[in-house]
Amino acid sequence: MNFKGELFDQIQERGQLPMDDVRFYSAQIVLVLEFLHKKGVVHRDLKPENLLLTDEGHLKLGDFGSVKLLQDVEMVAAGTDYDRSAEPERKTSFVGTAEYASPEVLNGGMASTAMDWWSFGCLFYQMIVSKPPFRGGSQYLTFQKIEQMDYHMPGVGVMPLEAADLVRRLLVEDPKQRLGYNGVEEIKAHAFFEGVDWLRVWEMTPPVPVEITRQEGDSEDEQDFLEIAPTEASHGHVRVSR
Amino acid sequence: MAAPDGLEDKGGDTTVRAPRAALSIKDFEVEKVLGAGSFAQVLQAKLNRTGKSYALKIMDKRHIVKQGKAEYVLRERRVLDALRHEGLINLCFTFQDPHSLYLGLELCTKVNFHLHPVDLTPASTFADTCVAFAPSSTLQKNI
């Protein structure tokens, strides 16, 4: 039986996600955010729980309960592209989830698409490190860590240089200095995504979902220790042309 | 865009892409609970007529009213309807009965990046979205 939803649990139990998988999932997230942002919609609650996996292994973003609209809902409904220069600035407030909230979301700053790029930075870090960069013992402590930009950058053995560079450019306090503020091209052009054919991301072969086999006699208590069935599946490969 | 699965908007509105379908919960076979909170629940449910399964998000109207969040619910519905992308969980249809609003969403499997039990109680899964509901005649008309 396949339990595709547990792929990430399994991989994380075994260490970091393979970098090609990180690249594949990240590229999909970048394209979805590009689409939303073009319509003036900021998701504002980008986090792992809101990313679901299809049977084919593609990601889908859900939960639009926290969206911030940068233009009138009528314009969104009509499919009008967002024009930043034509719209007044709007303030944001705290919604979403503490760990992925940008400093301006915490401080009631100006709303922009960069709020999502911050959250993407947290999510990107988490795919590699297996926990988000800012996590305190309480929501308050998490907020403090974010405001102090207090996070740990692991060594190159865990976080390759170009990935670390992307994290550093996304987790920037000033949204106007954050990568992506001036457009998605800034993100797409980053060295981490070198070799990604942005026009064909949806045609790329997704990481193969890991098949989880339940041994006979497994009790409910043992579910956390399910074994991963044979192997080639556990390293789903993303074919990125280089 | 044609309405998916042969469902039509009962108001005859062809501009909405996710039709307000003439359906009731009785048209579905509930397969499992995908999540539940105090404001709403999400079921995996199969539309008997077609055999296709959806994630059916069920929101309590009374709660929407109490919270004064009708506007947000409507907004969520309109935004979902306007945005179609293969990387999004798209809205397929909506319907309602006297007690509840129903959003028929594409069914996916949940990915969990977390190693540790997530701070994702059912409440927080839906709280953010589902805190957002309210009453009113607008709802009746538009959802």
Distance CA B107, CA B103 (A): 12
Chain B residues closer than 8 Å to A36 by CB: 83
Task: Indicate the domain borders of chain B.
Answer: 17-142
Task: Select from A52, A122, A124, A127 the residue whose CB has the most chain B CBs within 10 Å, as the one to mutate to test that interface.
Answer: A52
With CB atoms and an 8 Å threshold, state whether A65 touches B120.
Answer: no
Low-confidence ranges of chain B (pLDDT < 50): 1-2, 111-143
Query: What chain A residue is nearest to B107 in terms of C-alpha separation?
Result: A54
Q: Which residues pair with B47 in a beta bridge?
A: B28, B52
pLDDT at residue A230 above 70? no
Query: What chain B residue is nearest to A31 in terms of C-alpha separation?
Result: B87
Question: A106 falls in which pLDDT band (50, 70, 90)?
Answer: very high
Q: How much is the pLDDT for A222?
A: 31
- In this predicted structure, which of A47-51, A154-158, B5-9 has the lowest mean pLDDT? B5-9
Instruction: Report the complex ipTM.
Output: 0.77
Is A83 an active-site residue? no
List, as one string, the DSSP characters of A53-112: E-TTS-EEE---TT-EESS-HHHHHTTPPP-GGGS---B----S-GGG--HHHHTT-B--
Query: What chain B residue is nearest to A77 in terms of C-alpha separation?
Result: B82
Structure tokens at B81: 């309807």
Task: Please enumerate, as own/partner, the contacts of A176-181 that have beta carbons within 8 Å and a separation of 24 or more.
Answer: A176/A114, A178/A114, A178/A117, A178/A118, A179/A117, A180/A113, A180/A114, A180/A116, A180/A117, A180/A120, A181/A112, A181/A113, A181/A114, A181/A117
What's the CATH architecture for B17-142? 2-Layer Sandwich (3.30)
Q: Which residues pair with B46 in a beta bridge?
A: B29, B53
Question: Is the distance from CB of B46 to CB of B132 less than 8 angstroms?
Answer: no
Out of 3.20.20.70, 1.10.3720.10, 1.10.510.10, 2.40.50.100, select the CATH number for domain A19-206. Answer: 1.10.510.10
pLDDT at residue A233 above 50? no
b/e map A88-111, b = 16+ CB within 10 Å:
eeeebeeebbbbbbbbbbbeebeb
Question: Residue A97 contacts by C-beta under 8 Å, 6 or more apart in sequence?
Answer: A45, A47, B119, B124
AA identity, residue A119 = S
Inform me whether the C-beta atom of residue B132 falls under 8 Å from chain A C-beta atoms. Answer: yes
- In this predicted structure, which of A35-49, A82-96, A130-144, B105-119 has the lowest mean pLDDT? B105-119
pLDDT at residue A169 above 90? yes
Structure tokens at B82: 């306007």
